[in-house]
A and B are shown apart, each in its own frame.
Chain A
């Protein structure tokens, strides 16, 4: 009986605990039903005889919450945990030799008698295996044991994660659990990297990780736990003991032909009080190091902060990347020093430094032919480009964090300095041009968030964000580019475009939350101010080295101030069955922008209401329905109102002559998510509807040498519907994770080209299939296929375009001995467009790795693209434009690597 009492005490339980305990100590086994919540009764067989030693298990949603056994007289008393409601409770009687019987518990306390029939079989079907993968669930946490899914050739934990049933990894490294992007990857519960988790998944050795845990409804802020709902899914990596004690490092040094190098030196530490991922990497084998620095939740972060910044305004020209995996086409000379260090102090404070510096020299050779189909006309461009980009990326982030059940503090000081000098030799429609583009973005920001409790349980929050950002851009094109247009037909040296948008931004608010039994009410009030200046000029460097303005309408001196005051009421229901979150913000926005050069002095003051509702209803222990609706009023930014022309690239002149863009954005989503964790089966389906109404529209005037974009005040709308399905299952029989995904997306929008209003419908269907087998420790096999069909159609143009793409990847792993590993992989690309001969490409890679015991080192020989494919041609279809491009590829690389561990 002792164990039943120990299950927990409600208030009622506590009150009667004293004398109930006394009775129990006296050994009273007599029914106490009148005193506490109990279920009692007897168990007899069909002959009416008492059945002793029958197990009686009280369960809810398939999990036992209390149990007892019958005494020698067949009687039982089951004492229940305090505060238990009768709904959804079942009592089952189990005994070997008898049929199992289950009864619903309708009232409490109650008397339930069982009559059990004799059964022939005694024990259930039993699987006689031991080395099967195991998933464990604990509330919102699902745990994968790494050893069950890893194979000998896996190097880092990211190699294992992409093979886990229920998890998929997008091409940019974003990890999705049952098709939902995760918020972060924690390391033994510590947040070292925020959403830049590719740094961790690409560097933590898989053999030091014990478990990969998926945490659903993850609320990282302890003060808010069980009070404010979170739909986030986070991953946590738990380390083996070996990984928690020593400094670790997986080092590799490689050199090869033709003139290639690949170096990766790292030092990792995962102690409870100190965690570090520090490394130095460099290569010219096409491994893009910037892909490790991707912020996977950038859109969410931007929305949280509320500072809308214009993207880089200038470019060297629109260059599509080939639809190959990046390593296949990327020419680089990259080096990166990356340091991520976290210290947990005894006082509960956590200090963190994330800093990196990256330098790269990227080259690209391509030629392109662009065909635009217009009603009654077809326009073609031909270009040959040789581009070189030299990015220098410096990032420093300092974080101070305190996360206690009563108090939360987080301060992030961020400094970014990204600069690049980029060159392009260009041959466009027969004229030879040189372009130089200098781009330098700098930002400094501080985000501070404090949350504390007052009067026992109420929560108070203060938030402050301040930032300064600037990105001077300068681009020169010469000689004598489009002299007809820019210099009355006279030759000149360079066309110089300069633009910069220095920005100040701050956002401050206070909030007060009142948690209740069912509902947490939050009230928030704040102000934000954005102050910008857009300065730009297009000038000519004449042959006599003097500067003259290119035209009188290509100078901008635009000032912009956006002030917002907002008040918000929000309601959170963090229930077990139903989780709801409703936020009702009321915003007053005051905008003003002036440019004396164009006699522009405008303002806009408006109230906005941007409600948002999201929720999750648990239809069972492992399945739920989720829904979301949001309505947002969006106002364009400074890049929507400048009046002077900016030559964005050598083909695009851009100016605005309409009012500020106002958009109303509706989003609705409905999803169903199902899993059977113990059977390793996952399934989800999501439907999304997105509707945007805007008060103006971008219009393009296309001529043979320039494309001029002007914004026209026509009200228009864009609709998009998406259905997304995902299924993943581990087959115990085949030792294989199978997964598949399908997406159907249909979008309708309107474009104006050469004065004609063109509605466009684009439908894209994507199908993905994956199978990953770890047959045993010696043989493994992986197959991935992605097919995309894109149909683009406009009723105004007779032609409808369809592009089919299919990418198949297969890999075979074979380890004949413990010390020898072979890996052979291939990628097949198919691109087809109705009426044309399809393009097919095949790439193959091979790898041999040999472990030298005496040296405790591995030798690795890599043959990348050993079939030596050196050019790639592709077709791209976007609305009514067809682009045919040809790229130079790096060709075969043979690399010898020496690998060793610290």
Chain B
């Protein structure tokens, strides 16, 4: 029996005035079952992924909990080394810094890393009287409208960090469950565990870009991967890798998380 483990996280803090200088490390991990109806013609089979939110004292990072990059190294018959990499889960990571009102998104296209730094979105939350117990945590309901969807979120006032999954943030406690009104985007609470003190420092490695530019690159990658790789190779010493594009029936995405506002 797995049983119940009560973990008392007694973290002695050295509270000096120098808040910002302290590197924040994760104390808790909130697990989500992320569900997204990407294709409205196929509502029965939403995209699902295990996601995690690492929560520190004043920041959080939301990323895939599937295990990230997996690498297999083998030796070819001709003596050369063969490296197979396989990514499990989506590459995007969202770093939220509520005190600094900053959101850093790290993402990847093929093997190139990108950094998108933006202002943390401000959400007009309406707090509701509804309460729930999720995984032993006392939670309260709040609703907002964000990027074309009406969200319902459950936050935990006992964990006073104003972060949440994806871009959701700004409630007086960690958002541990959220879904939109059509149940097309769902961050379903799947547990909370003690975290292994991972740094939540914003990444610095990667091509700094804007969200708009990144979306354009992603579109290029989908339409013409070789053109994307050639573009990325410009300004670096290495030649662009050659790849064979295998046309396949990629997953249909006709219902992105962020929808245009219809007013």
Contacts and interface: CB of A to CB of B under 8 A. Distances in A.
A3 B129 CA distance: 16
A860 interface: no
B57 A97 contact: yes
Given A55-B172, A120-B12, A129 B126 contact: no
Contacts of A755: none
Given A118-B15, A121-B10, A130-B135, A6 B124 contact: yes
Contact of B8 (A125, A131, A139, A733): A125
A121 B15 contact: no
A112 interface: no
Contacts of B138: 678
B74 to A, nearest CB: 36
B247 to A, nearest CB: 33
Interface of B is mostly: loop
A67 B10 contact: no
A138 B130 contact: yes
Given A127-B135, A132-B136, A139-B129, A2 B124 contact: yes
Contacts of A677: 133
A146 to B, nearest CB: 15
A126 B136 contact: yes
B159 interface: yes
Interface in A96-131: 96-98, 118-131
Interface in A730-760: 732-733
A559 interface: no
B127 A97 contact: no
A127 B127 contact: no
Interface in B78-129: 98-99, 122-129
A131 B188 CA distance: 12
Contact of A137 (B13, B57, B130, B171): B130
B124 A3 contact: yes
Given A97-B57, A121-B10, A126 B28 contact: yes
Contacts of B15: 45, 97-98, 118
Interface in A45-84: 45, 49, 52-53, 55, 57, 62-67, 69
A122 B130 contact: no
Nearest to A118: B15
B190 interface: yes
Given A52-B19, A128-B193, A121 B126 contact: no
A778 interface: no
A130 B130 contact: no
B189 interface: yes
B210 interface: no
A53 B57 contact: no
B185 to A, nearest CB: 15
Contacts of B5: 127-129
A560 to B, nearest CB: 54
Nearest to B136: A127
B14 to A, nearest CB: 9
Contacts of A125: 6-9
Contacts of A14: none
Contacts of A135: 132-133
Nearest to B99: A53
Contact of B141 (A49, A121, A138, A241): A138
A753 B13 CA distance: 84
Interface residues of A, number: 49
A801 B50 CA distance: 66
B131 interface: yes
Contacts of B170: 3
Contact of A96 (B13, B140, B141): B13
B186 to A, nearest CB: 12
Nearest to A50: B17
Given A53-B58, A67-B172, A122 B27 contact: yes
A786 to B, nearest CB: 30
Interface string B124-157: 1111111111111110110010000000000001
Contacts of B134: 134
Given A3-B126, A62-B131, A123 B99 contact: no
A136 interface: yes
A53 B189 CA distance: 26
B140 A64 contact: yes
B126 A7 contact: yes
Interface in B216-250: none
Given A97-B13, A124-B158, A138-B141, A678 B133 contact: yes
A732 B43 CA distance: 34
Nearest to B123: A3
A124 B159 contact: yes
Contact of B132 (A3, A57, A139, A678): A678
Contacts of B4: 127-129, 732-733
Interface string A448-470: 00000000000000000000000
A132 B2 CA distance: 12
A94 interface: yes
A134 B190 CA distance: 12
Contacts of B259: none
A386 interface: no
A732 B44 CA distance: 32
B207 interface: no
A57 B159 contact: no
B78 to A, nearest CB: 47
Most A CB contacts (10 A, CB to CB) among B27, B31, B135, B160 go to B160
Contacts of A129: 2, 4-5, 135-136, 191
Q: Among A119, A131, A678, find the residue whose CB has the most chain B CB atoms closer than 10 A.
A: A678
A679 interface: yes
22 contacts: A3-B125, A6-B126, A53-B99, A64-B140, A67-B171, A69-B172, A97-B13, A121-B11, A122-B27, A122-B57, A123-B11, A123-B27, A124-B159, A126-B28, A128-B4, A128-B6, A137-B132, A139-B129, A139-B130, A241-B183, A677-B133, A732-B136
Interface of B: 2-13, 15, 17, 19, 27-28, 31, 43-44, 57-58, 98-99, 122-138, 140-141, 144, 157-162, 170-173, 183, 189-194
Interface of A: 2-3, 6-7, 45, 49, 52-53, 55, 57, 62-67, 69, 94-98, 118-132, 134-139, 241, 677-679, 732-733
Given A94-B160, A121-B10, 20 more contacts: A2-B124, A55-B162, A67-B171, A94-B157, A94-B172, A96-B58, A121-B11, A126-B7, A127-B135, A127-B137, A128-B193, A129-B135, A130-B190, A130-B192, A135-B132, A137-B132, A139-B130, A678-B132, A678-B138, A733-B3
